[in-house]
Amino acid sequence: MMPNIAYVIAGSEATGGAGLQADLRTFAQRGVYGVGTITCIVSFDPKNNWGHRFVPVAAPVIGDQIEAATSAHDLDVVKVGMLGTPETIATVSEALSRQAWRHVVVDPVLICKGQEAGAALDTDNALRREILPHASVVTPNLFEARTLAGLDSIDDVDGLIEAARRIHDLGPRFVVAKGGVELPGDDAVDVFYDGSDVTVLRRPKVGDERVSGAGCVFAATITAEIAKGADVADAVATAKEFTHRGIEGRIASHLPFDAVLPA
């Protein structure tokens, strides 16, 4: 029997907590066969307060990986994670337009802390212009929702809903705007908007620190569930529960932050 296959185009995070490592781990745990393409390599630097070191993979090498993956398998569901540079964004955008996709799930990772602000702005604009039009599902966190929606601040659930509506206007059919730990209150609140109805998902906050990989596991779970045939609303509800469980069971390390342990 053929397994359900999910594809991810994302960055490697060398400590294993986030990025492609978390995506493929999540795919395996949700029972789908994962295929991955690496866009960049992030290696936190233990000699420098675990600051980000960021190296993009050369565009032709990204293109080769996508060619190999899409030629070997009949892929119809893809998650797009960290891209990192305008050149990578152009390469991935061009590759996405070469075939029809049932769903493109975009986790709009906007800033890698190692990047200088000017470069990050170019990347943000390129992501909005070249990747969002391919997205059927987009999962911005609070900062990304504010940036993509062009809002000065998001202070409550109503603000999150307004952001989700504005991002929907940019193209994606389904928007999950995540309040996470950043939105004030006792619960981690996310808003799901499908163009007509708003669903508010909430679970109690586990601590008040960000947990590495939470956004990656969340979007990867949505992708895996869609690959198995779930509709988007059910996939998002499953992702909320699965990520919450992974945050509760999180893994500590010598890093100054914990990582999600999807299980």
Ligand X SMILES: Cc1ncc(COP(=O)(O)O)c(C=O)c1O
Contact residues toward ligand X (CB under 6 A) are 10-11, 13, 18-19, 42, 81-82, 109, 212-216
Q: Which of residues 122-151 bind ligand ADP (CB under 6 A)?
A: 141
Nearest CA among 129, 74, 138, 66 for reference residue 108: 138
**Considering the rule CB under 6 A, would residue 52 count as an interface residue with ligand ADP?**
no
Minimum CB distance to ligand X smaller for 79 or for 134:
79
Give the CB-nearest residue to ligand ADP: 215
DSSP string covering the chain: -PPPEEEEEEEEETTSSSHHHHHHHHHHHTT-EEEEEEEEEE--BGGGTTB--EEEPPHHHHHHHHHHHHHHS---EEEE----SHHHHHHHHHHHTTS--SEEEE------TTS-HHHHHHHHHHIIIIIGGG-SEE---HHHHHHHHT-S---SHHHHHHHHHHHHHTS-SEEEEE-TTTSSSSEEEEEEE-SS-EEEEEEE-SSSS--BTHHHHHHHHHHHHHHTT--HHHHHHHHHHHHHHHHHT-B--SSSS-B----
Work out what residue 11 binds among ligand ADP, ligand X, none; the CB cut-off runs from 5 to 8 Å by kind. ligand X
7, 74 Cβ separation under 8 angstroms: no
Site string for ligand ADP, 229-258 (x = CB under 6 A): -----------x--xx--x-----------
13, 4 Cβ separation under 8 angstroms: no
77, 103 Cβ separation under 8 angstroms: yes
Minimum CB distance to ligand ADP smaller for 75 or for 190:
190
Q: How far is the CB of 201 from ligand ADP (least distance, A)?
A: 7
**Considering the rule CB under 6 A, would residue 215 count as an interface residue with ligand ADP?**
yes
Q: How far is the CB of 126 from ligand ADP (least distance, A)?
A: 19
Work out what residue 13 binds among ligand ADP, ligand X, none; the CB cut-off runs from 5 to 8 Å by kind. ligand X
Minimum CB distance to ligand X smaller for 42 or for 66:
42
**Considering the rule CB under 6 A, would residue 180 count as an interface residue with ligand ADP?**
yes
Work out what residue 203 binds among ligand X, ligand ADP, none; the CB cut-off runs from 5 to 8 Å by kind. ligand ADP
Work out what residue 30 binds among ligand X, ligand ADP, none; the CB cut-off runs from 5 to 8 Å by kind. none
Identified binder of ligand ADP from the candidate list 13, 190, 225, 258, rule CB under 6 A: 190
Minimum CB distance to ligand ADP smaller for 58 or for 233:
233
Give the CB-nearest residue to ligand X: 11
Minimum CB distance to ligand X smaller for 72 or for 263:
263
Q: Measuring CA to CA, how many Å separate 259 from each of 8, 39, 253? A: 20, 21, 8
**Residues found near ligand ADP in the complex (CB under 6 A):** 141, 178-181, 188, 190, 203, 205-207, 210-211, 214-215, 218, 240, 243-244, 247
